Chain A
Amino acid sequence: MSDPSERTLAVLPDLPVTQEIKVLLVDDDAEFAQLVDEYLGAEGGFAVTARGDGEAGARSALTGEYDVILLDVGLPKQNGFSVLKLIREQIDTPVIMLTARGDDLDRILGLEIGADDYLAKPCNLRELAARIRAIMRRTRGGGSSDVQAESGRAVIGDLTVEAGSRSVYRDGELIALTGAEYLVLDALLAQAGEVVDKGAIAKHALGRRLQPYDRSVDVHVGHLRKKLGPLSDGRQRIKTVRGRGYLYVVLS
């Protein structure tokens, strides 16, 4: 897939990560956690802390000292979603949900509550490391985009985007978006009125390539539509262009 938007979308800086990435892994399988620790340790650049249940996981997460949280959905006592809710009420630390393959409902629910990405478990650890790096690039790199580069504030139709605080207002009213949703919107607004292909959106918002049967971009767009509502003339704000991608409609 060619990526025609590469020219217009800021290419994410592939910064060599200098600081160690602090990873919190919340998973009830201690042995698996041990293996993840071993692998990431050998990779270098990661420090892994493991917690075996939801409560301990939430407590550690809320200290705010971690860069990224890996959250298993199938936790005993308190499942991954309630832990994610607890975390999201207080902090914005990027969260990658570990879901079972084929469990689309879990994924959609996770993204809805505010997970930044998901990964099917069992997973290849190389892929896991790549996801963590992608998210870190996105957040540490500041997701710099044209909209943001030009000014701290952009107004598109009835939307006002403040890049610094990553907040979006519709007619002056704050719309709460998750990190990934904000970046998807960011990618669309950067080329408002033009078709942006899904691969480019994924690259910008998730920091990775889109894989086959991967619905995350569609799910994020669905949530954006719901949260932002239709345009003032009643039309859908984000149009699906079949086989090509999505387009943010600009009222002329």
Chain B
Amino acid sequence: MAFYQRILVASWGIFLLTMAISLSAVHFAPGSDESADKRIVARLVQQVARDLSAGLAEDPDNAVEALLTRQNLSLAPLLEIYVIDPAGDDVLARALPRRIAEVYTGKRQHSSPMLHVDSPDLRGYTIIGDDQFFPLAQVLVRPGGRTFMLAVGLAVSALISILLARFIVLPVRRIREAGRRVADGDLSVRVAHTVGNRSDDIASLARDFDRMTEQVEGLLQDQQRLMRDVSHELRSPLARLLALISIARQRAAADDAPASTEQLDRMERELDRVDELISSILAFAQLDHADALHRQPIDLVDLLENVVDDASLEAHAEGKEVQLLAGSEPLVMPLDGAIASAFENVVRNAVRHTAPDSRVEVSIARTDAGVTVTVDDQGPGVPPEAITQLFAPFFRVEEGRGTRSGSGGLGLAIAERCMRLHGGAIAAVNRPEGGLRVTMSLPRAAEAASAG
């Protein structure tokens, strides 16, 4: 069944149910006989009866006509007052509804005896009020009737809406939730099984969603496989090239040719760079979703100690320093080993950009939420418009910071991805006193990143 049919049925359902409930309320509501509108109706009938009997007493021949000029006998849809002459016909020649005829012939009691006047004063005339046309109308004119209708309408539509929601909104929400998870990089989500054995638009939406996700997953896997394969394949020629350079160097040394040695050194450095780029591409590709993390207890203080030690070695060559400000007690968290390269990349980046003879400061702080590691350099900082793009793959800040050497421009992207997969975050800000501050935060709770 398609949506629009469902919705149509539902709105008809609301309408009919409201009617039915209101009608039965009129019929079965306690005190409806004694209710105000019944009394009004009875008064009208009594009035007609009094008028007629007075008229008949005064001028029997013209009594009916006089009555008709003074009283309105048809108050549809509220009330019809039948004035039946001794011959058994209505004075307005209206056909008697069956139940009225039956009351007239005495086959049944009028449901409101007050509306049946058959007194001797009427000289053979009988007056029967019929208030049964359309009870809904009575409901509407009753004091509080509209409120009652409104309440019933609301209750019924609420009920139907809940049913509709269960049918439409819930599955749609599930699909939306799945969409969110897909956006967070979990392409293994499937929703078709959640809609059961339905065969409507929602079910086809779910199936289409699954097909789409499967396709995208396949494409992405192909892409990542391609990237990995390409990177791996590149390594073999690279290894041969480096071996060839080693041989050339061996020969140059034997021939005592320092000039070519210098060329060879430069070649080797370039090859090194290509190799580093390949490994960072592979590292980046491996960090594709939180399931890929192998968490193990890692002491952050110890890890940063190592990173800072290593970075110091590199920094000393340029007269720069790296300092770690951390307490001595260990800080063990369940992390993936890749976190080391995240910190390493950020620290090395800071060392690269900090001014000669200046210092990079790395500090660890425990917060309520977890742990924050900050890396401050004393470099030129980053233009404000570039700050947000700093963690994009291969992003280079052109002005102020010359083209970056070394890291192939994936270092900070790897750091960002790694923090995100651990449920943490990374941000950069220019310090007022100059230089860049990179803040990395890791949540205390070792919850999977896909949860947030």
A: which residues have CB within 8 A of B?
29, 31-32, 35-36, 38-39, 42-43, 74, 100-105, 108, 121-126, 212-213, 215, 218, 240, 242-243
Q: Which residue, of A31, A105, A242, has the highest number of chain B Cβ atoms within 10 A? A: A242
| Interface set, chain B 335-368, CB cutoff 8 A to A | 337, 340-341, 344
B57 within 8 A of A: no
B268 touches A121 (CB 8 A): no
Which positions in B face A, CB cutoff 8 Å? 232, 235-236, 238-247, 249-250, 268, 271, 275-276, 278-280, 282-283, 294, 301-302, 305-306, 309-310, 313-314, 328, 337, 340-341, 344
Alpha-carbon distance between A123 and B241 when the two chains are bound, in angstroms: 10
Which applies to chain B's interface (DSSP): helix, strand, loop or mixed?
helix
What are the residues of chain A within 8 A of B239 when measuring CB–CB?
A: 29, 32, 121-123
Contacts of A100 in B (CB 8 A): 232, 235, 279, 282
Let me know if A126 and B283 touch, CB within 8 A.
no
Residues of chain B with a CB closer than 8 A to A212's CB: 310, 313-314
Minimum Cβ distance to chain B for residue A211 (Å): 9
- Per the bound structure, the CA–CA distance linking A39 and B247 in Å amounts to 6
Knowing A32-B236, A125-B247, the reply to whether A243 touches B242 (Cβ < 8 A) is no
Q: Assuming the A-B contacts A122-B239, A242-B305, are A213 and B344 also in contact, with contact meaning beta carbons closer than 8 angstroms in the complex? A: yes
Which residue of A29, A35, A126, A243 contacts B249 across the interface (Cβ within 8 Å)?
A: A126
- Contact indicator A122/B247 (Cβ below 8 Å): no
* In the bound complex, CA of A215 to CA of B305 (Å): 12
Residue of A nearest to B313 (CB): A212
Q: Which residues of B contact A32 (CB under 8 A)?
A: 236, 239-240, 243
Interface pair B238/A242, CB less than 8 Å apart: no
Q: Min CB distance, B398 to chain A, in Å? A: 27
Number of residue pairs spanning A and B whose beta carbons lie under 8 angstroms apart: 83
Given contacts A102-B280, A105-B337, contact A122 B235 (CB under 8 A): yes
Contact present for A243 and B337 (CB under 8 Å): no
A35–B248 Cα distance when bound, in Å, is 11
- Minimum CB–CB distance from B421 to chain A (whole Å) comes to 16
Q: Which residue of A lies closest to B254 (CB)?
A: A42
Q: Do A39 and B306 contact each other (CB < 8 Å), given the known contacts A100-B235, A104-B337, A121-B239?
A: no
**B309 near A243: Cβ-Cβ < 8 Å:** yes
The residues of A that contact B305 with a CB separation of less than 8 Å are 242-243
Cβ contact within 8 Å between A240 and B302: yes
Identify which of A35, A218, A242 contacts B328 (C-beta below 8 A). A242
Interface centre among A74, A100, A240 (most CB of B within 10 A): A100
Residues of A within 8 A of B309 (CB): 243
A36 cross-chain contacts in B, Cβ below 8 A: 243
Contacts of B340 in A (CB 8 A): 104
- Contact (A242, B235) CB under 8 Å given A101-B275, A125-B246: no
Chain B residues within an 8 Å CB radius of A35 = 240, 243-244, 246-247
Q: Is the CB of A124 within 8 A of B313?
A: no
CB distance from A45 to the nearest CB of B (A): 14
Q: Which residue of A lies closest to B294 (CB)?
A: A105
Evaluate contact between A39 and B280: CB separation under 8 angstroms: no
Of the residues B244, B250, B278, B341, contact of A42 by C-beta under 8 Å:
B250
User: Which chain A residue shows the least CB distance to B231?
Assistant: A100
Known interface pairs A213-B310, A243-B305; A124-B242 also in contact (CB < 8 Å): yes
